Amino acid sequence: MSFAQSIESEAATTDVGTAEDAERGEAHVAWILSRVRNDAKDERRSLLFFRFALLNIVGFAMVGFAWQIGLIAQVLEADKTNLSLVIAAVFVLGLGLCAQRVWQTSQELDRVRSFDPLLPSKAAEYLSLLRGVEGEGRAMLASALRLKLAQRIAVVRHIANCLVLLGLIGTVIGFVIALSGVEPKEAGDVKAIAPMVSTMIEGMSTALYTTLIGALLNLWLLTNYQLLASGTVKLITGLVEFGEVNGRT
């Protein structure tokens, strides 16, 4: 090959490389522009977390109102076992875990809507698993994704159920306290009736208040769980649809 021919060959190779680089650059610019348009259209980002925050602001506002009118102080004074405080502590733990899961789910939903391959996300992870997989394999991956995300939020539901069980335990303890003060042999003694009645009232207060606190906090946490569960369903649906559209390329 002559010197002139070698120069022409190198120039052709350079032109091909330059054309490929130009195509990649154009594709990258198009992707950036589409992402900017999607971000402009998606004005309500992290909407799931905003709903969670609004729900619990209302809930804590009601707690503050109950504190102002003295209901919480009345409960704490009547519950000699302090089981109401234990129930409240378990609720705070469950609410904190729920807030963490809601934030994660909200972020993942945003990343599915405006996918960025440079950022680690569930969408990028799921897309990498789908590469080269067809038919039943894709269905199995989608099922595994559903199970994994459902398991991630199941702990919140378990904690909510524990609140009811703790309330029932308080009911049993309250009845035990109430009945412990009853002495059948001294029932005819007028002087012994007053201490019996006082013990029964104390036990019944414990039983009723712990049951009430457990039921109310269970309802509060379950409402948050339903919000989290609906967001998780949207995330699963979005990931599966995203994978079907982009996983075959």
Q: For residue range 220-243, what is the model confidence (pLDDT) as tens digits?
A: 999 999 999 999 998 888 888 877
Task: Note whether 134 and 36 are same-domain residues.
Answer: no
pLDDT computed for residue 61 by the predictor: 96
Higher pLDDT, 200 or 161: 161
Give yes or no for a contact between 224 and 56, defined as CB atoms under 8 angstroms apart.
yes
- Together in a domain, 171 and 206: yes
154 pLDDT more than 80: yes
In this structure, which amino acid lies at residue 195? P
CA-CA-CA-CA torsion sign (60, 62, 65, 67): negative
How far is CA 187 from its chain centroid? Answer: 54
Whether 21 and 85 share a structural domain: no
Mark whether 37 and 79 lie in a shared domain. no
CB 231 within 8 A of CB 102: yes
- The 3-state DSSP class for residue 115 equals coil
Average pLDDT over residues 170-192: 71
Whether 115 and 174 map to the same domain: the answer is: yes
Q: Hey, CA dihedral for 99, 104, 107, 108, is it positive or negative?
A: negative
CA distance 183 to 188: 10
Q: What is the residue range of 6's domain? A: 1-41
What pLDDT score was predicted for residue 103?
Answer: 93
- The region of weakest confidence among 8-12, 57-61, 110-114, 143-147 is 8-12
Tens digits of residue pLDDT in 47-89: 888 999 999 999 999 999 999 999 899 888 888 888 999 999 9
Into how many domains does the chain fold?
A: 2
pLDDT band, residue 143 (cuts 50/70/90) = confident
Domain match, 233 and 217 both? yes
Place of tokens 């269970």: 218
Q: Residue 141 — very low, low, confident or very high, per pLDDT cuts 50/70/90?
A: confident
Q: Are residues 148 and 232 in the same domain?
A: yes
User: Is the same domain home to 143 and 79?
Assistant: yes
- Most confident stretch, 4-18, 119-133, 212-226: 212-226
For residues 181 and 199, give the distance between their C-alpha atoms in angstroms, rounded to a whole number. Answer: 5
Residue 225 to residue 118: CA distance in whole angstroms:
31
When pLDDT is cut at 50, 70 and 90, the band that residue 91 belongs to is very high
CA–CA gap between residue 142 and residue 99 (Å, rounded): 25
> What is the percentage of the chain residues whose pLDDT exceeds 70?
69
Say how far apart CA 48 and CA 123 lie, in whole Å.
Answer: 18
| Residues 19 and 133 both lie in one domain | no
Average pLDDT (162-188) is 80
Here the tokens at position 113 are 């809507």
Residues 30 and 51 placed together within one structural domain of the fold: no
Which pLDDT does position 78 carry in this prediction? 84
Q: Are residues 77 and 139 in the same domain?
A: yes
Please classify residue 240 by burial: count the beta carbons closer than 10 Å to its beta carbon, then call 0-12 exposed, 13-18 middle and 19+ buried: buried
The pLDDT of residue 197: 66
121 and 77 within one domain: yes
